[in-house]
Amino acid sequence: MEARSSLAMQKSDIKQLCSSRVPSVMSSSLPVLPALEERYPALPDSQQVSMERELRSEPVTSCHTPFISNSGSIGPLFSSAPGFSSDLHFSSVAPIDRQTITTPLVSQSSKSGMWFPAQLHSGASQTSLNNFARESPDVSWPPVSLQGVIDNSGAVTNQVQSNCIMVSDDKQDDIWSDLIADEWKELLNDPNSTDTQPKEPYSLGQASSNISAHRPQTHLAVPSHSGEHYAATSPTSGTNNASAKPRMRWTPELHECFVEAVNQLGGSEKATPKGVLKLMKVDGLTIYHVKSHLQKYRTARYRPDSSEGTSEKKVSLIEGVSSLDLKTGIEITEALRLQMEVQKRLHEQLEIQRNLQLRIEEQGRYLQMMFEQQCKTGMDKLKASPSQSSDPTGLTQTVEAAPSDSVSAKPTESLEQKKTTENEPENIDILDEAHPPPKRLKGAEHDLQ
Amino acid sequence: MKFGKRLKKQIEDTIPEWRDKFLAYKDLKKLVKLMSITPSSSTDLKVEEEFIHLLNSEIDKFNGFFMEQEEEFIIRLRELKERIQSVISTAHEQSEAVYAAEMWRLRKDIVNFHGEMVLLENYSSINYTGLAKILKKYDKRTGGLLRLPFIEKVLKQPFFTTDLISKLVKECEDTIEQVFEVPQENAKLGRPEVVAEEGAEQSIFRNTVAALVTMREMRKGSSTYGRFSLPPMSLPDIDLAQHLQLPSPIPS
């Protein structure tokens, strides 16, 4: 199977590399990193040494588990990634602009790739980085050295992760997913700290790690298109679920690439998944993805074909009923038009509704944040000087009187009263914009975008 | 229970293959009812776990289904466009009758395709609403804080990020303009088969209407209006009393 052979090939490459530069820790089954050699030279020696030392000290799996996926794709890989990337500082790729992240592979040789699954959603990784900085002081990777790496390279490529993605071997995935489960859990102090809010009683940690697994997405470094490709895999619900069900989020551009490849190979019938995969040269794409997509493609082509094949029959039918056709034709057109109108209307309304929902939630979050801040400062002030002016005291009284539900109306309302004068043009705008007729919303919609 | 009933109705009306892909609202409600007011006992924790677990698996289900449909739509849209091109370009080669027939079918297919995509958007919306509601119920019942973080994550899920579908819908609409612009001298040649095949488009049409109506109903008014409630829909041809929807936290 192709995946296996490529895997084997990469392994041998790695062994080569490993013997020269990399600590022995890395030489075990890594599907990874022909990039290693490129990466290391980019580091100043001292940093490299320190990295090597760190590598040695960490368990074996630390190096390569990120590349494993439970299901042969990137997804579950990232599901654990927020945990370890944050702990290992690799989310320090965050500052890097999205554009550079999807730099095509041509730049592979020159960049020092961040071998860890670069959390390419800079938002997500930023959070994880922040969390990491706050919460895991005892992880030994010095952030500085990695920053140095990033500064040197100026761009992060997915080369490493791309190279490792061809792992669609289920058996190995099983092993590695177990490794992820066990070793990472003990490696991390707080495995789910990055994405959970600290609400222990709700075993949210567990839930959120699950949920956080939904979020990470990888960018495919497709040569033709940058910044728009997603290979988001939806993880299976169990963390240790080793079922091979990678879910890829296709885009029209990716599909175009696919069709080109298929056409080059002589059409949807002649093309094989293997061939298409090779031609497409898209990182993050597994043969499994291609296979299922090809199947869908074939089905889609055959359905219209079969009905068109009966065109002769149709002609005779049509010619047989000429006199009544004028009316029928017009009626049909009208029916279609009506249908279109209703559909368009529904689409519009759904869009509007969705935007509203987004903004409502955003507003809710904002208020929540303000409330919490106010709570905090209120408490602080209260502690600082008991005999304050009426404002903070009034506020803290309100705070104390508040029910446990943090988003209840009352305290936030009084909060709003106090804050209105200060600094909430944003908030007011949001609220106002939530009310208006659709037209204005559409304008606001553009703002959001 | 209103939402539950509406959801049920939507499910009944929807495309048959989609029926089991919707939110298991009832089951989630049952779990919520099992929770006691103050989550203290161990059974509570178990129920909660189950609740969260079910939520997660539902979300997975949505994501999976949604992305598959999305993929198919991408493929089909492209195929439709190709079809249009080929029909238009080979128009001169064929007899009027054949050309007309093909155009008709094309039009019908495109309109139905458009409808399916919009229904997928609706699917996303309904499930989101269901999630939001059930989370609200949960928090209300247990005084908990599950809703906010959960919803935040839901907002980022593939099934809720419908931008691509939106884009496809718009593309489709543009393409439809193209197709319907083609000179209508073929109007005199009707398509008897259309009558026969109306099953598919009728169901899509019916679904669409049902979806619109449901949306309107759901947003008309509620006993639990709060900051997170949506205002009523403003459909110009639907008569709705205009009153303040979102309670403004900012005093006038």
Most confident of A56-60, A74-78, A263-267, A381-385: A263-267
Q: List the 346-365 stretch of A: residues with Cβ below 8 A of B.
A: 346-347, 349-354, 356-358, 360-361, 363-365
pLDDT at A3 over 50: no
Contact A347/B45, CB-based, under 8 Å?
no
pLDDT at A248: 81
Q: How far is B202 from chain A (nearest CA, A)?
A: 9
What tens digit of pLDDT does each residue of A288-340 get? 999 999 999 999 888 764 333 334 444 444 444 443 456 677 788 888 888 89
pLDDT at B172: 92
pLDDT at B90: 84
Please indicate if any CB of chain B lies within 8 Å of the CB of A431. yes
pLDDT at A298: 92
Please indicate if any CB of chain B lies within 8 Å of the CB of A376. no
**pLDDT average, residue stretch A158-165:** 40
ipTM of this complex > 0.85? no
pLDDT at A304: 60
The mean-pLDDT minimum among A40-54, A260-274, B12-26, B142-156 falls in A40-54
Contact A329/B188, CB-based, under 8 Å?
yes
Looking at the partner chain, which of B143, B192, B234 has a beta carbon nearest the beta carbon of A404? B143
Contact A304/B79, CB-based, under 8 Å?
yes
Contact B153/A212, CB-based, under 8 Å?
yes
Joined tokens for residue B34: 């099992």
Residue type, B226: G
Contact B230/A356, CB-based, under 8 Å?
yes
Please indicate if any CB of chain B lies within 8 Å of the CB of A314. yes
pLDDT at B67: 93
Range list of H helices, A21-74: 35-42, 45-57, 61-64
Q: Which residue in chain A is spatially nearest to B211 when comparing CA positions?
A: A346
Q: Which residue in chain A is spatially nearest to B145 when comparing CA positions?
A: A405
> Are the CB atoms for A242 and A261 separated by under 8 Å?
no
pLDDT at A246: 63
Under 8 Å CB-to-CB from B9, ≥6 apart: which residues?
B210, B214
pLDDT at A233 over 70: no
Please indicate if any CB of chain B lies within 8 Å of the CB of A197. yes
Cα B136 to Cα B146: distance, rounded to the nearest angstrom: 8
Distances (CA, A) of A198 to A203, A205, B121: 10, 8, 33
Q: Which residue in chain B is spatially nearest to A357 when comparing CA positions?
A: B230
Q: Which residue in chain B is spatially nearest to A298 when comparing CA positions?
A: B75
pLDDT at A123 over 50: no
pLDDT at B149: 87
**pLDDT average, residue stretch A188-206:** 41
What tens digit of pLDDT does each residue of A393-447 get? 444 444 444 444 444 444 444 444 444 444 444 444 444 444 444 444 444 444 4
For chain B, list residues with pLDDT below 70.
1, 38-39, 181-202, 220-229, 233-252
Please indicate if any CB of chain B lies within 8 Å of the CB of A175. no
> Are the CB atoms for A42 and A160 separated by under 8 Å?
no
Phi-psi region of B46 (alpha: psi -120 to 50; beta: other; left: phi over 0): alpha
pLDDT at A361 over 60: yes
> Are the CB atoms for A377 and A388 separated by under 8 Å?
no
pLDDT at B226: 66
**pLDDT average, residue stretch A362-391:** 78
Check residues A240 and A275 and name the one with the higher pLDDT.
A275
Residues of B in contact with A263 (CB under 8 A): none
